[in-house]
Amino acid sequence: MSGSKAATGRVAKITGGFWARRQQAVIEKGISHGYEQLRETGSFEALEIAAGTRTGSIRGYVFRDSDVYKWLEAASLAWAVQPSNDLRERIDHVVSLVGAAQHSDGYINSSFSNENAPLRFHDLTRDHEIYCAGHLIQAAVAHRRSFGSEKLFGIALKFCGLLNREFGPDGKVGACGHPEAEMALVELYRETGDQRWLSLARRFLDARGQFPRVLSGSEYVQDHLPVSEQREAVGHAVRCLYLFAGAADYVRETNDARLLEAARAVWEDVYHGKAYITGGVGSRHDGESLGAQFELPNARAYAESCAAIAAVMFNQRMLNLDGDAKYAAMIERTVYNGMLSGISLDACRYFYVNPLESDGTHERKPWYDCACCPPNLYRAILSFTDLLYSEMEDGIRINLFADSEFKGNRFGVRVKTDWPWSGDVRIEPASFGKYSLFVRIPAWCLDAEIAVNGEPVSGGAPERYLRIERDWRDGDFVTLRFPMSARFVRSHPLIRENHGCVALMRGPMVYCIESADNEGRDVREFRVDARAPVEEVPMKVCGEPVVALRISGSYPVSRSRVPYEPAESEPPQREPAFAVAIPFFV
């Protein structure tokens, strides 16, 4: 893939299938649900109090405004897919709340208004003001792209002007305890071409890990080492992954070799043994943090939904830099498992943490006091479309498969598929002439069949892009067959909680066995026979047609009543049985 540089831009569209259903749920239900929750939990009220149009005191997390910005970003993306007057009115209303809360010098943060105004930029380690600014910028860019309006964009630019006066070349050295603004500022630079925003992103990246400290010096806030000297993924999972996503964005614009080396090393560290099979990241509740290599407990997994989203963002940016299919593979694993698990099929209930094992008491909730995940899930699902394709100088890279179409600056393509339930994909070039299609062969697919106009094409290898170069004509088509049979996967022996266990997967999906689908039995006692055939059982779960799997194995005839027994005693007798597994994310 060398010499091919990917372009950015919202040029893909979901045309049906699984992702149309996911996006419709967010657009038709999630966005309204989120709006009501933000209203009921006081986020709009906080902006009104900050604006002086309401009296009262502002409570809650200091980053509460970021939830409003994430909602605005998602709502703007939703409007671009499916415009409606109701949605437009809500967006306009929220934009005017934000505008009214802006101070005359550009500052906005409801938590640091009125009597708390003197605390502005007082505690960069904890106070999330620059983090909130980052989410405001991202919302503003999305709003401008959807509506062509300068209103929110102008508000964000005014705040950025203030940030530049405070922390730019004539200001002080500083950074935010929670990285985020780096990604946003690079995107703002792409949107405007204004070098100031790229330089400010650089200043925020450079301020970390230096002496004298501008933050607390801890791993938790990514201040333990200069970013370009980091080689291990440590600290708070979302902060770490957002930071390196921002660093990768910066590298894309500048080719900074030291930052690139750091980002590559941190990626290797995450995927060598700090990510779950679901793509979830963050093994520890303590500090919402990454664990040590292979420290991946199942029931105690943290795996915050936001960390899965951050991992997708990091991989997306690394994919754009290096063009390696391994990044797309991790996007796919994370999206279909650790990220989508965070949101119910109707998009109105959410997990904050996504453990891989539960006693049945861990359930999705309609909202959280710390509400970072729900609106982050909305925007992630609506911007999934951006992950599908990359337009290159010499063609189109197809990173992920979804029923969709892509119209780039030079090349276009249409894809028909029932992915992730079927591995059959049909690709129709929608622009003609000589160029290449780079098709990703998933790592789990050892027997892919690829054909152009029915003629087999050879040369594909798992976890690589297969280049198909042709003079494409109207009527040409490419067919991909990636057989999706169920498979058992074992983990590294040092992932100690998985001793004696296998995971069950089909295509990109990780599966889950629950008592609810197995006559209330204690499925922890089920012992699988991994050599027996697995039966596919199409079924509907909350309206979603899924492929469930029926696996063979056994249960003990009688349950042991004692915790310990002599090792030489006969193990309990077992009787053959089946267990039904459904995709983890549902």
Pick the binder of ligand FUB from 70, 144, 178, 440 (CB under 6 A): 178
Quick one: three-class SS letters along 492-560?
CCCCHHHCCCCEEEECCEEEEECHHHCCCCCHHHCEECCCCCCEEEEEEECCEEEEEEEEEEEEECCCC
Q: Is there binding between residue 306 and Zn ion (CB under 5 A)?
A: yes
Q: Which of 370, 452, 501, 530 binds ligand FUB (CB under 6 A)?
A: 370
Asked if 27 touches Zn ion (CB under 5 A), the answer is no
Instruction: Say which amino acid occupies 110.
Output: S
Tell me how far, at minimum, the Cβ of 359 lies from ligand FUB, in Å.
Answer: 24
| Four-residue CA torsion sign, 250, 253, 255, 261 | positive
Q: Which does 288 bind (CB under 5 to 8 A by kind): Zn ion, ligand FUB, none?
A: ligand FUB
Exposure of 116 by Cβ count < 10 A (0-12 exposed, 13-18 middle, 19+ buried)?
middle
Whole-angstrom distance, CA of residue 563 vs CA of residue 574: 18
**CA 220 to CA 233: how far, in whole Å?**
11
Q: At what angle do helices 43-51 and 85-101 cross, to 10 degrees?
A: 40
Q: Is residue 519 annotated as part of the catalytic site, yes or no?
A: no
Sheet holding 464-472, edge to edge: 389-392, 395-398, 433-441, 464-472
| CB closer to ligand FUB out of 63 and 147 | 63
Cα–Cα distance measured from residue 516 to residue 523, given in angstroms and rounded to the nearest whole number: 10
**Of the candidates 471, 332, 337, the residue with the CA atom closest to the CA atom of residue 399:** 332
CA distance 46 to 94: 12
Residues 349-388 that bind Zn ion (CB under 5 A): 372-373
Interactions with Zn ion, residue window 394-413 (CB under 5 A): none
Closest distance between Zn ion and the C-beta of residue 289, in Å? 14
Which pair of structure tokens corresponds to residue 562? 């004692």
Pairing verdict, β 395-398 and 433-441: parallel
| Cβ atoms of 65 and 46 closer than 8 Å | yes
d(C-alpha 501, C-alpha 496), whole Å: 10
Measured from the CB atom, the residue of 31 and 306 that comes closer to ligand FUB is 306
- State yes or no: residue 162 binds ligand FUB (CB under 6 A): no
20 near ligand FUB, rule: CB under 6 A: no
Interatomic CA distance for residues 549 and 535, integer angstroms: 6
22 three-class SS: helix
Contact partner at residue 63 from Zn ion, ligand FUB, none, CB < 5 to 8 Å by partner kind: ligand FUB
Please list every residue from 385 through 424 that binds ligand FUB, using CB under 6 A.
none
Least CB distance to ligand FUB at residue 236 (A): 6
Pick out residues in 259-288 that bind ligand FUB (CB under 6 A): 288
Of 129, 180, 182, 288, the active-site residue reads 288
Q: What is the 3-state secondary structure (H, E, C) of 12-58?
A: EEECCHHHHHHHHHHHHHHHHHHHHHHHHCCHHHHHHHHHCCCCCCC
178's contact among ligand FUB, Zn ion, none, with CB below 5 to 8 A by partner kind, is ligand FUB
Could you say whether residue 124 binds ligand FUB (CB under 6 A)? Answer: no
Contact pick of 11, 124, 198, 238 for ligand FUB (by CB under 6 A): 238
Nearest residue (beta carbon) to Zn ion: 306
119 binds, among ligand FUB, Zn ion, none (CB under 5 to 8 A by kind): none
Q: Which is nearer to ligand FUB, 317 or 440 (CB)?
A: 317
Count of Cβ atoms closer than 10 Å to residue 88 Cβ:
14
When the beta carbons of 207 and 372 are compared against Zn ion, the nearer one is: 372
Least distance to ligand FUB, CB of residue 37, Å = 16
Confirm or reject binding of residue 309 to Zn ion (CB under 5 A): no
Q: Taking the CB of residue 284, how many other CB atoms lie within 10 A of it?
A: 17
Q: Contact 544/586 with Cβ under 8 angstroms?
A: yes
* Residue number with the smallest Cβ distance to ligand FUB: 238
Q: State which of residues 58, 137, 372, 381 lies at the interface with ligand FUB (CB under 6 A).
A: 372
DSSP conformation class of 27? I
Q: Which does 370 bind (CB under 5 to 8 A by kind): ligand FUB, Zn ion, none?
A: ligand FUB
In the complex with Zn ion, which residue's Cβ is closer, 340 or 439? 340
Q: Taking CB under 6 A as the rule, does residue 219 contact ligand FUB?
A: no
48 vs 304, which CB is nearer to ligand FUB? 304
Q: Does the annotation mark 463 as catalytic?
A: no
Q: Which has the closest alpha carbon to 463: 395, 399, 545, 393?
A: 399
Beta strands in 264-403 (DSSP E): 389-392, 395-398
242 versus 435: smaller Cβ distance to Zn ion? 242
Residues counted in the chain: 586
Helices (H), 208-285: 237-254, 257-273
The distance of closest approach from Cβ of residue 286 to ligand FUB in the complex, given in angstroms and rounded to an integer, is 13
SS3 197: helix
Q: Residue 51 or residue 301: which is nearer to ligand FUB going by CB?
A: 301
Active-site option among 372, 373, 445, 512: 372
Instruction: Give me the sign of the Cα torsion angle 224, 228, 232, 237.
Output: positive
Query: Cβ(537)–Cβ(507) under 8 Å?
Result: no
70/333 with CB nearer ligand FUB: 70
State which residue, 220 or 482, has the beta carbon closest to ligand FUB. 220
Smallest separation, CB 371 to ligand FUB (Å):
9
Q: Is 184 in the site for ligand FUB (CB under 6 A)?
A: no
CB 111, min distance to ligand FUB, A:
13
> CB of 63: closest distance to ligand FUB in angstroms?
5
3-state secondary structure of 488: strand
Question: Which 3 state secondary structure label does DSSP give 230?
Answer: coil
Q: CA nearest 30: which of 95, 85, 93, 77? A: 77
Tell me the closest approach of the beta carbon of residue 310 to ligand FUB, in angstroms.
8
CB of 237: closest distance to ligand FUB in angstroms?
7
Candidate ranges 159-167, 303-311, 359-367, 446-454; the one touching Zn ion (CB under 5 A)? 303-311
63 near ligand FUB, rule: CB under 6 A:
yes
Among positions 304, 391, 394, 405, the unique one binding ligand FUB when judged by CB under 6 A: 304
Q: How far is the CB of 178 from ligand FUB (least distance, A)?
A: 5
Kindly list the residues in this chain that would bind ligand FUB in the complex (CB under 6 A). 63, 178, 238, 288, 304, 306, 370, 372
Point out the residues that are catalytic.
Answer: 288, 372
Kindly list the residues in this chain that would bind Zn ion in the complex (CB under 5 A). 304, 306, 372-373
